[in-house]
Structure 1
Amino acid sequence: MGLLQKSTAIALLGLLACSVHAQALEKVDASSWTYTFSPYAWAAGLSGDAAALGIPKTHIKSNFSSLRKDLDFAAMALFTARKHRFGFFADLTYIKASAGTTFSATSPLQDINVGATALAAMLGAGYAVWDHKKGHVDVIGALRYWDVDVSATLRAKNTKAIHRHDGGKWVDALTGLRAVYYLTDNTYATGWALAGKGGAEFSWDIAAGVGYKINTGLSAQLGYRALGVNYSQDHFHYKMVHKGPVLGLTWRF
């Protein structure tokens, strides 16, 4: 199979917890709970291999600049709760994307079109092992649920098109660290590193960013994130690295 030049652009699991600590820019009562809600966007590109029933393993590669054409719909949100050293978070991401490519005139294949939808949901908790007025470091653990569906149409010269639909559902357990450090009263740096497995053979997630407090209840974050996953089950194969800039807003209440 030739190279697939445009990705299906599944940008799973958005900004996770980059915005979860925006509330710490304000002094809060450690005995009370603080909550945040964060809608966000991830302009991610992909690189890796995918295969569906009847469609051989195909290499996929793109960058975030192709998302305007390939991305059909995306909705992402994060909710967090924190009290002193303890915190909980829930993240939900839904992506619908499509892509296609045309093969060279010398190839027996004519073109391939791929459509994909992905739902990713994560529930997790953390505990601050280092807690200071300038920042903190959390040990976190989470369960991440994946639901990926891929449809593909392959056309070869002088033959009927092949239509296939396949997908996978699985849960991975992740653990890692998340940190935030306050540069000024209004700006902070944050990042995390997670890794684990479960239904997938291996999954990892790293990110770094900066945030700015717009007012007492609203802040904005800008950063970069890379997420990798390797999943195989029967005829379905999904081994991808998703990476690109992230942009989000956080409301604190």
Structure 2
Amino acid sequence: MTVAGATEPDSNPPEVQVPGIAVRADRALQITPYLWAAELYGRISPFRRGPTIGVDKPFSEVLDSLKFGGFIDVWARSGRYVLSGDLAYVDTKENKSFGPLPGIGPLPPGIHGAGRVDSKLFTATLLGGYRVVDTPDWTLDALAGLRVWHVSNKVRVSALEQSRSYKESFGWAEPVLGVRAFTNLSDQLSMQAQANIGGMGIGSRFAWSAQATMNYIINKNFSISAGYKVLDVNYNRNEHVYDTRLHGPVLGLTYRF
């Protein structure tokens, strides 16, 4: 999912002037690392035969439990053919209180295990497509591809004078269909919007994502963008539940080759 907007003017002539920059209209390549101040809410069952946990975390709580987070987007175009890649990795830790857990067994009524949970989420989206609208004012790309999810959880608990660790992971892949629109507002300012849907019973029950950004050209190589991003997924298979929504503002820095 593209976070920072392309700065290509997207017109038909082979070369277009952008504030002192000659940009080839037939080719583009850019890489965007970005920050995502996301809130998280939904339902998660990280372990088979474990409880389903309701989650409602503002960004401040997500930040408190964050060990590492990394987000990067890649966008390329050759003529009317386009390619989009998005990678996200989040590693968190949190102290929790639990009832029955795999590897420890059911606990007597009133007895709970206390410990730490380390959770890792990785998603990778790869989309290819075709530019169906290509004018000097705006462009529209039709996209299709694949999104891969991997969720890993490790818990260390102490209960009934026992201390144990247990790790479990699950993942899936799903098809994705999307569109991306881009328009220049001025010589240095542009706007971009992208949306996609996925899963539809293959992988997750359903997943969707949407975002919009305003983008500003700094110079011939760099631009910055700011906007809002939502990622929603409903996965429920083999006793694993990952029914969540991540949403919040994004801030990206784009490097153009």
TM-score range, shorter chain: 0.7 to 0.9
Q: Within 5 Å, which residues of 2 pair with 1:1-253?
A: 16-24=1-9, 26=18, 28-31=23-26, 33-51=27-45, 52-101=47-96, 109=112, 111=114, 113-153=116-156, 160=162, 163-197=165-199, 198-253=202-257
Contact 1:118 1:147 in 2 (8 A): yes
Q: Per the alignment, do residues 123 and 87 of structure 1 end up closer, same or farther by CA in structure 2, a change over 3 Å counting?
A: same
SS of 2:4 mapped into structure 1: coil
**Residue 8 of structure 1 corresponds to which residue in structure 2?**
none
Q: Per the alignment, do residues 78 and 185 of structure 1 end up closer, same or farther by CA in structure 2, a change over 3 Å counting?
A: same
Contact 1:230 1:239 in 2 (8 A): yes
Contact 1:55 1:152 in 2 (8 A): no
Name the % identity.
Answer: 28
Contact 2:225 2:253 in 1 (8 A): yes
The one-letter amino acid of 1:126's match is: G
Structure 1: gaps spanning 5 or more residues: 1-15
> How large is the RMSD of aligned CA atoms in angstroms?
2.3
Q: Per the alignment, do residues 133 and 90 of structure 1 end up closer, same or farther by CA in structure 2, a change over 3 Å counting?
A: same
Q: Using the TM superposition, give the Cα deviation of residue 192 of structure 1 relative to its aligned residue in structure 2, in angstroms.
A: 1.2
SS of 2:24 mapped into structure 1: coil
Q: Deviations over 1:42-70 (max 9, x none)?
A: 11111111111242101011011223311
Q: Using the TM superposition, give the Cα deviation of residue 35 of structure 1 relative to its aligned residue in structure 2, in angstroms.
A: 0.9
Contact 2:223 2:254 in 1 (8 A): yes
User: When the two structures are superposed, what TM-score results if normalisation uses the length of structure 1?
Assistant: 0.83
Task: Write the distance in 2 (CA, Å) between the matches of 1:203 and 1:192.
Answer: 14
Q: Using the TM superposition, give the Cα deviation of residue 147 of structure 1 relative to its aligned residue in structure 2, in angstroms.
A: 1.2
SS of 1:55 mapped into structure 2: coil
Larger Rg: 2
User: When the two structures are superposed, what TM-score results if normalisation uses the length of structure 2?
Assistant: 0.81
SS of 1:66 mapped into structure 2: helix
Moved >6 Å (runs of 4+): none
Q: Using the TM superposition, give the Cα deviation of residue 231 of structure 1 relative to its aligned residue in structure 2, in angstroms.
A: 1.4
The number of aligned residues is 233
